[in-house]
Structure 1
Amino acid sequence: MIEIDGREAGLVQILEAGFFGNLIHAVIVDRGPLWFEGFGSTAHFKAFTAELNRQFPRRFGRKRRFIPEIEDNPKTRNILKKNNFYPIGQHGYETIWVDLTQEENILMSTLKAQSRNKLRKAQKADLTIEWDEKGAYLPWLLTTYSLDKKEKSYDGPSVKLLQALGRTFLPKNMLIGRALINDKPVGAILILCHGSGATYQIGWSSQEGRKTAAHHRLLWDAFCVLKNKGIKDFDLGGVNDGTAKGVKQFKSGMGGHLVRLPGLYG
């Protein structure tokens, strides 16, 4: 939990691993922090980065991995540099953000033609959509996701991390949507809510789910559910033109805009 002036300001997941009394030490912050309503300004990011550097200063034997959840610009890079965080590898990390303050008809009009057609196909299919914010579907989803990830060898958050997020965000701030045909799940997504924002974490589709465009239906329904919860911005997650070009095309088609984050720093 992040506190600023005695108020709960946001959440951050910090993973640590140490050996020989932390002589060899690793610190990981991926896509953080997640700010609550009223927080998340440049000044707040500056304060967080300074505190992160104070608690885990650069030193021999320590590996730091920090992917900040903030738009990339010269001011952001300067804050990172002043706190001894330096870019690792290629600069920048791209994600897709959807503005949920728009009316539903406007949101629909921002979908690319192919995505609109897929959504219409999904809406005509015999799909039932159900939402869970108490974590009832979490064990099922993590088992299904783990098997799918192993079978297809794709990158994604670990089950242990998702379980930890469940302990932090449940109830009410973790949403799991399922698409079913004849009571059989064919697709699912997991979303975290934080302040006025939400972030897509993982998703899964069976062959039948892909055939019926279940993921398009789940994301569209998620737009409506999140709007009703007062969420203003929906981060659909990272994209790239290399290993996950199809994922980028899918997410870009859902009407969001491309945002560049600073990328990996250490």
Structure 2
Amino acid sequence: MAGQVTGNSKRQIHLDWNTLDQVTWDGFLEKVDNCALQQSWAYGAALKEQGARVRRIVAYDGNHPIALAQVIVRSWFGLVKLATLMRGPVWLEEVSPQTRQEVYRQLRRLYPRRKMKFLFLTPEATGPEESALLEAAGLKQVITGYTTLFLDLGKSEQDIWLGLYGKWRNKIRKGEREGLKVLFGDHGHPKTEWLLSREKKQQRDKNYKALPVGLIDAYARHSLGRDVVMTAFVFNKESDPGKDDPVAGAIFLRHGNSVTYHIGWNGPDGRKLHAMNILLWKSILELKNRGCTFLDMGGMNTADGAEIARFKLGSGGEVATLPGTYL
């Protein structure tokens, strides 16, 4: 259902929702340097299959679109509505702090708490200024900041290589000397189900929650472009990829010109051979070749996942901590 909310800003900032089609939405995201997976149309469509409602909001300055915000809404007992805006809005251009504050204010007004509607907003922004704008818009922090790591794939191959930690480069060289083979595919690759089954077991064994593994198939079906799901598998030099299992594997999801490291699995043999280092390096080169400009390496949890955090830091990317979740 389409709708509109108008503010009293002198510049006439207002919100429309559910008025764009997927081609237009995706077209906007293609022009953004670094957008989050959670703001892609296909991500919302995949969650809609699991019973969520999706509200796709456009913020306008007059008739000019300045931001997109995909909100996922779930109802509890038919009374309480919990809306999540993860890693958005996506700003389509540079706007003033006053404009950002007004957009945050109008987003909050869409979900009045007196009517048992609650918006949990996790903006894709950094710095104390954003926190001040959110609070001025009537929002309060309820969860501390999420930390991730970005790799700029727009840099040259040489610059990315030199940005890797020295130990990382050594492990890649060792993998190459061992004759490790990295093969790429899409979500239909014969080894994809093998990787997803290990991801399920990994979630159980390590007691952590992640997006449902079934989201990958739905994400691919609801995406307009090709190569939105990239799988990568590492095989021993003696292995037959048609018969043998990989020693490591990963899945990357593309959204706009950005891509997210979604799933990674490394077996005992893979750890001995440092397979994930060569997997990620070869994947970086492949993603660059496909026109991706930013790689989101995913969350950094130094308390419960120190080993994974160290691995990601070794890639030489830029650590970014978001302001947190606001209600």
Q: 1:55 to 1:62 in 2, by over 3 A?
A: closer
Cα distance between partner residues in 2 of 1:202 and 1:31: 19
The residue type equivalent to 2:147 in the other structure is E
The residue type equivalent to 2:84 in the other structure is I
SS of the residue 2:210 aligns to: coil
**1:24 and 2:80 are equivalent in the alignment:** yes
SS of the residue 2:303 aligns to: coil
Q: Shift of residue 55 of structure 1?
A: 4.3
Q: 1:177 aligns with which of 232, 237, 253?
A: 232
Residue matched to 1:247? 308
Q: 1:85 aligns with which of 134, 139, 153?
A: 139
- The 10-residue stretch of structure 1 (39-48 or 158-167) with the greater mean CA deviation from structure 2: 39-48
Q: Deviations for 1:185-239, whole angstroms, at most 9, x for unmatched residues?
A: 1211111222222221121111111111111111101110111122222111111
Once superposed, what is the RMSD of the aligned Cα atoms? 3.1
SS of the residue 2:285 aligns to: helix
Q: 2:158 aligns with which of 105, 117, 131?
A: 105
Residue matched to 2:120? 65
* Structure 2 unmatched runs, 5+: 1-17, 30-38, 45-70
Cα distance between partner residues in 1 of 2:279 and 2:272: 14
Cα distance between partner residues in 1 of 2:136 and 2:218: 31
* Structure 1 unmatched runs, 5+: none
Q: 1:76 to 1:168 in 2, by over 3 A?
A: farther
SS of the residue 2:121 aligns to: strand
Paired residues of 1:134 and 1:171 also in contact (CA < 8 A): no
Q: 1:175 to 1:46 in 2, by over 3 A?
A: farther
Paired residues of 1:58 and 1:84 also in contact (CA < 8 A): no
Q: 1:250 to 1:166 in 2, by over 3 A?
A: same
SS of the residue 2:151 aligns to: strand
Q: 1:108 to 1:84 in 2, by over 3 A?
A: same
Residue matched to 2:176? 123
Paired residues of 1:112 and 1:253 also in contact (CA < 8 A): yes
Paired residues of 2:248 and 2:266 also in contact (CA < 8 A): yes
- TM-score computed with the length of structure 2 as normaliser: 0.68
- TM-score computed with the length of structure 1 as normaliser: 0.82
Q: Rg bigger for which structure?
A: 2
Paired residues of 1:156 and 1:202 also in contact (CA < 8 A): no
The residue type equivalent to 2:74 in the other structure is A
Identical pairs, percent: 28
SS of the residue 1:216 aligns to: helix
- The 10-residue stretch of structure 1 (127-136 or 243-252) with the greater mean CA deviation from structure 2: 127-136
Cα distance between partner residues in 2 of 1:234 and 1:3: 27
Q: 1:148 aligns with which of 202, 208, 212?
A: 202
Cα distance between partner residues in 1 of 2:213 and 2:256: 24
Cα distance between partner residues in 1 of 2:135 and 2:126: 13
Residue matched to 1:232? 293
Cα distance between partner residues in 1 of 2:115 and 2:217: 32
Structure with the larger RCO, 1 or 2 (CA within 8 Å, 6+ apart) = 1
Cα distance between partner residues in 1 of 2:306 and 2:129: 30
The residue type equivalent to 2:152 in the other structure is D
